[in-house]
Each structure stands twice: as C-alpha cells, then as structure tokens.
Amino acid sequence: MKPRCRGVVVVEGKYDRIRLASLLDADILTTEGFGVFKDEEKRALLTRLAREKGLILLLDPDGAGQVIRSFLHNLTGGKGITDLYVPPRPGKEKRKAVPGKEGILGVEGMDNETLLALFEKAGVLADASLPCPPRYTKGDLYRLGYSGGKESREKRRAVLAANDLPLTLSANAFLDVVNLLGVEL
C-alpha cells in the first residue's frame, strides 16, 4: 500500500508526475515546466488549491525549478505552500541520452528512499487508517453523462460554473479538478 499524501503535490512535468504516482497515493499536478507562466487557468487553479488544500512543491533542484518555485510563491503569496527540496545529485535520468544542462538529477531520477523521506520529514503523509475521499473515474463521468454524450460539455460547464471554476476544462481536466476539490456530481 502506497503512503497517502495530504495536499496537492506540484511537479514540473509528466515524467515527474508518473514517478511520484508510483510511490504515493497523491493528487499530483504539473506546471508543464514554464507553461504555468502563460496558463491563466492553471495559475487560478493553483492559487485556489493552495488556499483550500495546500500545495506541496517538489521541483527539480536546477535553476529552472527554482524559477518556477519562486513564481508559485509569488502567485500564492507563499500561503498554503510546503516546499520539498530534492538534493542536487550528479547524474542523468534513464530516459535521457545526455544529462541536463546542469548535470544533476531531477525528481524523476531520484531514488525511492530519498523521495519518500522528503515527504515523511515534511510531515505531509496522512494516516493510512483515515478514509479516502470519494474519487470519480472516467467511467463514472461517462455513466453520469459528463463525458461521451451530446450534452456532456454543457453538464460539465454547469458544474464548473457552480463551483467558480474555468469553463473551458477538457473532460480529463474536469475529472482532475472534481477529484482535487471534492466536488460532488
């Protein structure tokens, strides 16, 4: 059984997200690297999540990771943020042919023990005996008419509008947000 994490973990990219999902039961969002700078909806969502659930920043220990971390602190006023810092270790990720510009491992290249220790030390792992909040699946969205039907988009937009969320979210993004914020369908 994977340890459960309180709050929303924020990482830079999809490979970091995949890596953490293999270790933790956690809500994990990506910044898409510097893409968060231009994505107004993602910035609004991250600000809201920082306020309502708390953000756990786990970014690469390179210059780019520090720029993104600083941006997110400024965006949220530093409120609702827990910083986890990956130690700068030389190396390269397995999927890459050559090391990154700074020659250090990022989140995806870090060993399991180091990553789990960061979460334990920060005190953001939840008691496994506590019940998990309900989670919707893609199948649930289809069964309830929020995806795959003629009126699905309108149904999603009604839920998004009622919860003061961006109306242009895709079905996949809608699923993530509904689960992250505990929105009832």
**Single pTM value for the model:** 0.79
What is the count of structural domains for the chain? 2
Asked if residue 52 and residue 15 are part of one domain, the reply reads yes
Asked if residue 57 and residue 13 are part of one domain, the reply reads yes
CA 3/CA 21 separation, integer angstroms: 11
Asked if residue 115 and residue 29 are part of one domain, the reply reads yes
For residue 133, being part of any structural domain is answered with no
pLDDT per residue of the chain (185 residues) written in tens, 0 to 9: 889 998 999 999 999 999 999 999 999 999 999 999 999 888 999 999 999 999 999 999 999 999 999 999 999 998 999 999 999 888 888 888 777 788 888 999 999 999 999 999 999 998 655 555 667 888 999 999 999 999 999 999 999 888 888 777 778 888 888 887 778 88
Q: In 10 A of CB 9, how many CB atoms? A: 25
Asked if residue 143 and residue 103 are part of one domain, the reply reads no
Secondary structure letter of residue 107 according to DSSP = G
- Residues 6 or more apart in contact with residue 180 via CB below 8 angstroms: 8, 27, 29, 49, 53
Residue 73, domain extent: 4-122
For residue 45, being part of any structural domain is answered with yes
The pairing of beta strand 81-85 with beta strand 25-30: unpaired
Asked if residue 93 and residue 145 are part of one domain, the reply reads no
**E strands of 12-160, at which residues?**
25-30, 55-59, 81-85
Secondary structure letter of residue 126 according to DSSP = P
